[in-house]
Chains A and B, each alone.
Chain A
Amino acid sequence: MNGSGLAPETRTHLIRSCERIVGPEGVISAPDELRVYECDALTFYHRVMPDLVVLPTSTQQVADVVRLCREAGVPFLPRGAGTGLSGGATPDAGGVMIVLTRMNRILDIDVPSRLATVEAGFINLWLTNAVKRHGLFYAPDPASQQACSIGGNVAENAGGPHCLKYGVTTNHVLGATVVLPDGEVRQLGGKIQDRPGYDLLGVFVGSEGTLGICTEVTVRLLPQPEAVKTLLAVFRTIEEASNAVSGIIARGIIPVAMEMLDREIIKAVEANVKAGYPLDAGAVLLIELDGPRAEIEAEAVGVEATCREHGCIELRVARTDEERALLWKGRKEAAGSVGRITHHYYLQDAVVPRSKLPKILREIGEIGGRYGLIIANVFHAGDGNIHPLICFDLTTPGDLDRAIAAGSEIMKRCIEAGGSVSGEHGIGHEKRDYLPLMYSPADLAAMLRVRAVFDPAGLCNPGKIFPADRPEGHGDRNLQSPAMTAVSDR
């Protein structure tokens, strides 16, 4: 689908002006090139090309491009690595896409204060790699960490396996340089943790590119733990594994990570990395403990006992760094490996109270059976953050509709169970119509007022998060988001 139908003169004016700001090699306007920006990692229902793509190399350039868009009244949106799973980095209906991949430098590493400042396009994993030799690491570790940008992490408030103990992105960001939707450059937060007044940085983190574009981020680094122990607990059923998760937490043990992989995922992973997950298991739990050596040894005993109580049939401990890395490689590449068992998947992201895990997983199994679709599960069990991957094939008629319907049912069950429609992948475009299932109109109106304070003109990543946020002329009427279908057939 093409862009928003900008008038040709406006488009030419924007191209010329952007070329002046970032140089001609930083502006993309040929249709065959723009095509690659028509979606992020969510590919199957909402594809829209931007009118042009701009790649700035400095905060000032970002500000200049934003100001230009505002003056021309043209919508714009930021994009990092485009690994987002909710269509957040896909235009709602054209406009200017500001891509931050050329802003990928480290600006400062302050070892004594354990802080790092990087440009927004800097890749998550690079940060841990860069500070390893100082005995430090950056805790939020989304499974996409080898590719996703820190800016994208801030925008999505990304989490990851190790966030069970350490918290998600917002717990690690201390400051950000932000270009507001009117082109002003502002510093939110700074190098110290506690500041008086409203926590505007807290508002910005997780705002999915709708409150401005962050260009520089200051994050907290943590010292590497004294010891790490990684265990793989094998279960006959996913239900037993879920009960073990609750059991471990109930025992007062907080592992750094507790990740669940079910039978289908194990199949996909083993076809890819051969992580050594047993193919005949109903589910495996990947559990990691870190901290002082004596402490984790004691915790490991507790974890093992709990797992056995809940029917664990085998418990392995990684003996070497290589073994540990391999177990994790399997987990980190799990979603990507699903390409081995299906061509398309619809990855859900929802949260349920931990105690409801066995129930919701049973229901997901039933839903899959009813729609005749494989639903694979890999998720952050410790947080109750589930990621059902609904497998389907776009080339099979009706498959997509079935996948979407199955997804909506899962969402509704999660909300009924007292959960949330998004754990960490954001609302973006995909889930915007689910929000009314969770929030009252008054709640939504309050949120929109916050948004309007930052972006009164409604030009900054419009069409995302809020169902009502569809300024005339920018609505995408041909396609309904999956939730829209779900909501309308209720």
Chain B
Amino acid sequence: MPTAVATRSAESGRPLAPAFDAVDRPDREGILDCVHCGLCLPSCPTYLTTGLEMASPRGRIHLMRAVDEGQAGISADFVKHLDQCLGCLACQTACPSGVPYGYLLEAARTQIERRYERPAGDRRLRRVILSLFPHPERLAWLLVALSWYQRLGLSGVVRNTGLLALLSPRLAQMEALLPEVPSAAARRPLPGVTPAVGQRLGRVGFLTGCVQRFVLPDLNRATARVLAAAGYEVVSPQGQGCCGALHLHSGDLETGRALARRTIQAFERAQVDLVAVNAAGCGAAMKEYGHLLRDDAEWRSRAEAFRARVRDISQILAGVSWRQELKPVPVTVTYHEACHLAHAQRIRKEPRLILQRIPDLQLVELPESDLCCGSAGVYNLLQTEMAGRLLQRKIDRIRETGASVVAIGNVGCLLQIGLGLRQAKLPVRTVHPVELVDWSLHGMPDGEPRA
């Protein structure tokens, strides 16, 4: 593999004057790994939707290269096309050349956030949205506000609140995303330790996440119950907060690193064998902590050790031999592959496997199951139009399957697809695969389906 780093443009022979600076700069070797073959194009949701090469992986890499080589600057157009990238990493799955697109994107976005002056409104909106996630209590506050908002409609009070006014164009989107805001009782935290049922196989730390903890509390309870039934003692460590995924995807690597260190520390203290995650986006980010902290002498090895323990819940459950009988769950289920499971973590078989083991559950394949639903972290709040088009496409595919349940291994997608189904008035229920396992172990829940 050639390693010499160029000092002159290969094409023009001019000296390279990169518009990127040296801090978290997109790796030139990684950019050059792209041989421009175009095989990734149709896997990219934004290219598929627009037919534009600027909106394709190859195009985005080409633009990064132009900026890296000083042939172009960090212009509004450059920013626009990187903003529109979902970070779904479908291109990484498709690429035969091994281009580390995710790392390139992360780094390019950091350069943008540090070196590009966004229009004021845009800047504020991004700051507000991002400032919510590492702080579950702020989210909780917003949720309370939203539950009032839901009850009262567009009340004057809400409209006059500074924050909400700022958010207002997106507020409808955010509000729409939420299922019924869970009651305070439902939102109470998980117990610190859930004992294993029967003989203990090991001790699992559980990432409760910043969103699902409040928005989908049943999911976390189901996850803990299922892990316990599988023989694991389940700990949800104090002091864990946001995993930093959203910051990493939005060009704030510094905050991302701080959150990573905090997460690592919380789980180190809890002395767990494995770290279980039920949100694919968080799991994917945590598996990348080693890369994220690679230049941090103090944390590098701790990050590596932590990373090696992280498992998506489906990875753990696929290997479990159940001690109790699995009861029939007679529903037709289709499975949507979250990008951060299928593409970022390359986990495709395990979720299907755990569903197939449930008696009477009929699993039907979803066409384009690994095409992004448009949720992509906070993408749906920032790029509403593209997100909406992708969501519509996903809902159409789900409708075609005739399934009554769609299983989804990621929180963002659960909310996004849930929204799409509600808007389309399609009587299809959204659940996490682990919830179906929970139904099979502990009986189906009563009450309203979530979708």
Q: Please determine whether B54 and A33 come into contact, CB atoms closer than 8 angstroms.
A: yes
Q: Please determine whether A83 and B37 come into contact, CB atoms closer than 8 angstroms.
A: yes
Which of A81, A102, A343 is close to B32, meaning CB atoms less than 8 Å apart? A343
B interface residues with partner A (beta carbon < 8 Å): 1-2, 4-6, 10-11, 32-43, 47, 51-54, 56, 58-59, 62-63, 66, 71-72, 75, 77-78, 81, 94-99
Q: Please determine whether B10 and A394 come into contact, CB atoms closer than 8 angstroms.
A: yes
Cα-based distance from A102 to B51 in the complex (angstroms) = 6
Residues of A near B99 (CB, < 8 A) are 339
Smallest CB separation, A89 vs chain B (Å)? 10
Smallest CB separation, A371 vs chain B (Å)? 16
Known: A101-B51, A339-B96, A339-B97. A35 touches B72 (CB 8 A): yes
Cα-based distance from A83 to B56 in the complex (angstroms) = 13
Closest A residue to B94 by beta carbon equals A146
Q: Please determine whether B11 and A336 come into contact, CB atoms closer than 8 angstroms.
A: no
Known: A43-B36, A101-B51, A337-B97. A395 touches B10 (CB 8 A): yes
A47 contacts B by Cβ under 8 Å: yes
A314 contacts B by Cβ under 8 Å: no
In the complex, which of the residues A102, A337, A345, A395 has the most CB atoms of chain B within 10 Å of its own CB atom?
A: A395
A interface residues with partner B (beta carbon < 8 Å): 28, 30, 32-33, 35-37, 39-41, 43-44, 47, 55, 81-83, 99, 101-102, 104, 121, 123, 126, 144, 146-148, 271-273, 333-345, 393-396, 400
Cα-based distance from A41 to B96 in the complex (angstroms) = 14
Cα-based distance from A464 to B32 in the complex (angstroms) = 28
Cα-based distance from A99 to B71 in the complex (angstroms) = 24
Q: Please determine whether B59 and A36 come into contact, CB atoms closer than 8 angstroms.
A: yes
Known: A81-B41, A146-B42, A336-B96. A33 touches B36 (CB 8 A): no
Smallest CB separation, B284 vs chain A (Å)? 21
Q: Please determine whether A336 and B36 come into contact, CB atoms closer than 8 angstroms.
A: no
Cα-based distance from A392 to B273 in the complex (angstroms) = 47
Q: Please determine whether A396 and B2 come into contact, CB atoms closer than 8 angstroms.
A: yes
Q: Please determine whether A337 and B96 come into contact, CB atoms closer than 8 angstroms.
A: yes
Q: Please determine whether B98 and A272 come into contact, CB atoms closer than 8 angstroms.
A: yes
Q: Please determine whether B4 and A393 come into contact, CB atoms closer than 8 angstroms.
A: yes
Closest A residue to B78 by beta carbon equals A32
In the complex, which of the residues B1, B37, B52 has the most CB atoms of chain A within 10 Å of its own CB atom?
A: B37
Smallest CB separation, A119 vs chain B (Å)? 11
Cα-based distance from A126 to B62 in the complex (angstroms) = 26
Residues of A near B42 (CB, < 8 A) are 81, 123, 126, 146-147
Which of A121, A340, A396 is close to B97, meaning CB atoms less than 8 Å apart? A340
Closest A residue to B67 by beta carbon equals A32
**Can you name 5 A-B pairs with beta carbons within 8 Å?**
A33-B54, A146-B42, A147-B39, A339-B33, A393-B2
Residues of A near B77 (CB, < 8 A) are 30, 32-33
Residues of A near B72 (CB, < 8 A) are 32, 35
Q: Please determine whether B38 and A82 come into contact, CB atoms closer than 8 angstroms.
A: yes
Cα-based distance from A219 to B72 in the complex (angstroms) = 43
Q: Please determine whether B75 and A339 come into contact, CB atoms closer than 8 angstroms.
A: no
Q: Please determine whether A272 and B51 come into contact, CB atoms closer than 8 angstroms.
A: no
Cα-based distance from A400 to B71 in the complex (angstroms) = 20
Cα-based distance from A445 to B400 in the complex (angstroms) = 56
Q: Please determine whether A338 and B35 come into contact, CB atoms closer than 8 angstroms.
A: yes
Cα-based distance from A40 to B33 in the complex (angstroms) = 16
Residues of B near A338 (CB, < 8 A) are 35, 97
Residues of A near B32 (CB, < 8 A) are 343
Residues of B near A144 (CB, < 8 A) are 37-39
Residues of A near B5 (CB, < 8 A) are 395
Which of B33, B58, B96 is close to A333, meaning CB atoms less than 8 Å apart? B96
Cα-based distance from A271 to B66 in the complex (angstroms) = 28
Residues of B near A148 (CB, < 8 A) are 38
Cα-based distance from A341 to B96 in the complex (angstroms) = 12
Q: Please determine whether A336 and B95 come into contact, CB atoms closer than 8 angstroms.
A: yes
Residues of A near B11 (CB, < 8 A) are 44, 47, 394
Closest B residue to A102 by beta carbon equals B51
The 6 closest A-B pairs by CB, nearest first: A339-B97, A336-B96, A101-B51, A394-B10, A333-B96, A395-B6
Q: Please determine whether B33 and A343 come into contact, CB atoms closer than 8 angstroms.
A: yes
Smallest CB separation, B322 vs chain A (Å)? 27
Residues of B near A394 (CB, < 8 A) are 6, 10-11
Smallest CB separation, B231 vs chain A (Å)? 32
Cα-based distance from A395 to B11 in the complex (angstroms) = 9
Cα-based distance from A126 to B41 in the complex (angstroms) = 13
Q: Please determine whether A273 and B2 come into contact, CB atoms closer than 8 angstroms.
A: no
Smallest CB separation, B35 vs chain A (Å)? 4
Which of B33, B34, B38, B63 is close to A147, meaning CB atoms less than 8 Å apart? B38
Residues of B near A36 (CB, < 8 A) are 53-54, 56, 58-59, 62-63
Q: Please determine whether B54 and A344 come into contact, CB atoms closer than 8 angstroms.
A: no
